[in-house]
Amino acid sequence: MVKTRSLLFSALSLVSLAAAPLYSEQAATLSPLTLLEQTSQAFTSIAEQAMPATVYIKSEIQQQQQEGLSFDPFQDDFFRHFFGGGGPFPFHQQQPQQNPPQPQLAGGSGFLITADGYLVTNNHVIKDATHITVILNDGREYEATVKGSDPRTDLAVLKIEDKNLPFLTFGDSDQLKIGELAIAIGNPFGIGATLTMGVISAKGRQDLGIAAYEDFIQTDAAINPGNSGGPLLNIRGEVIGVNTAIYTRSGGYMGIGLSIPSQMAQNVIDQILDHGTVQRGYLGIRLQPVDKDLAEALGLESQEGALVSDVLKDSAASKAGLQAGDVVLQCNGKTVKNVSKLRNDIGMMSPGQEIALVIMRDGEKVTLKATLSALDGAEIASAETLQKLGIEIEDLSVEQAERVGYNGVLITQVKNGSSAAAAGLRKGLIITGVAVKGNQQKSVKNVSELEDALKGVAGNKYLILIIRQQNFQRYYTLKLQ
């Protein structure tokens, strides 16, 4: 028992030193009890600073007139995968439609970033809301207006009218290290402001299908339904992330929380505050990962980098001289770890910005400079549709087209739990068309034609893909919303 207590005090002493380094010189002369008290005071100080600036958000959503039960997205298999059957909001439940339909309430968290009432939350907390109420920790209530939102990162900026409000400042998420202490504050289940503590479990979580641009911080600080939009803090009380999702099978905390890093969040917030919208840089290339065999075949030192599979006509990439078959190794001096990271980095840049790319071409490194163009709405719609479907695609090669006797788009990957997987799509199937309206079909012979077709159906609830197998063709219905 004595040994166990000694180990406990030693472990807590290390936590205290990590949390309050200014005490490190005195640590040798302080008792374990004093170290525990100092640790407790550090967290109390953060709570006193952060809780008044963390808010509860109620969103009123007017339901559409329809028969039967209202559609609850959190009963959908995809959302259940990340949020569990109960949904992230305590009031977001499936209820019988009234005549006329009754407003539906959704709840989440947010935090103030200025003394005059600007605050940040997740886009999904306020999406489609007709009325938004912000409730401070001291009980004050305000009507809020949406100043701007960005579904592609799941962020939104709201405004309430008041002065001298408590607010939080941002830290640098790029400097985070795995194992650092992390503190989450939010309003789980609508019960009131709550503080939980854990560590940074991982960085750079991508390809989860939660948002179009993903670079999540993973933490084991307890995050539960209703925490969406609340701050993730470092030990100095600075915001290092915006809590967005939990990975759960039960609907509650299971040790995996996901937060948008502060560097990504600040970029989006600044653009919304300055322009009201978010503009993203666009290079105009299609990329695929570098696997082990490809790295060996191209003589690369590692599997890092991104292979350019196609360069779009008249794009920034085309004007810079990029070619299909190039492997992008560096962007602005930073190593390209994978396709998602390069896509995120370019998407966080502004149109008109010049970037320097180091590529591998024919066994030699070449440096190219490109001036980014703007990602337009049609390209965004197409990219988001593919993201929602959960498939990766590429053009049929000449040899493949000759073998099957027709052109189309080859499905190279289907993500588990995606809409495509639920519809029965699988790797190796060939898309030859899209049903755009009723019996009207639009044939697709390559990726460009498929993307053009998807631009026209991005706002629909369902998408019908036409798949051809030998002499047969079949319709596959996929849920988009």
How many CB atoms within 10 Å of residue 337?
16
Q: 127 CB contacts (<8 Å, ≥6 apart)?
A: 59, 149, 151
d(CA 130, CA 147): 14
Maximum distance among all Cα pairs of the chain, rounded to whole angstroms: 82
Q: What is the DSSP string of 346-412?
A: HHTSPTT-EEEEEEEETTEEEEEEEE-EE--HHHHHHHHHHHHHTEEEEEPPHHHHHHHTS--EEEE
Catalytic residue among 16, 59, 154, 220: 154
H or E stretch at 443: strand 440-443
Q: 204 CB contacts (<8 Å, ≥6 apart)?
A: 215, 216, 337, 341
H or E stretch at 467: strand 462-469
d(CA 142, CA 134): 5
d(CA 332, CA 173): 19
Is 259 among the catalytic positions? Answer: no
d(CA 325, CA 169): 44
Q: If 0-12 CB within 10 Å is exposed, 13-18 middle and 19+ buried, where does residue 308 land?
A: buried
Catalytic residue among 59, 92, 109, 124: 124
Q: 354 CB contacts (<8 Å, ≥6 apart)?
A: 369, 370, 371, 372
H or E stretch at 9: helix 2-19
Contact 289, 306 (CB under 8 A): yes
What residue has token string 């929602």?
388
Q: How many helices (H) and strands (E) does the chain have?
A: 12, 26
Catalytic residue among 149, 228, 382, 419: 228
Contact 246, 87 (CB under 8 A): no
Q: 11 CB contacts (<8 Å, ≥6 apart)?
A: none
Which tokens in the block code for residue 39? 């640790």
Is 228 among the catalytic positions? Answer: yes
> Which residue, 77, 73, 105, 56, is CA-closest to 226?
56
d(CA 129, CA 348): 27
d(CA 96, CA 422): 26
> Which residues carry out catalysis?
124, 154, 228
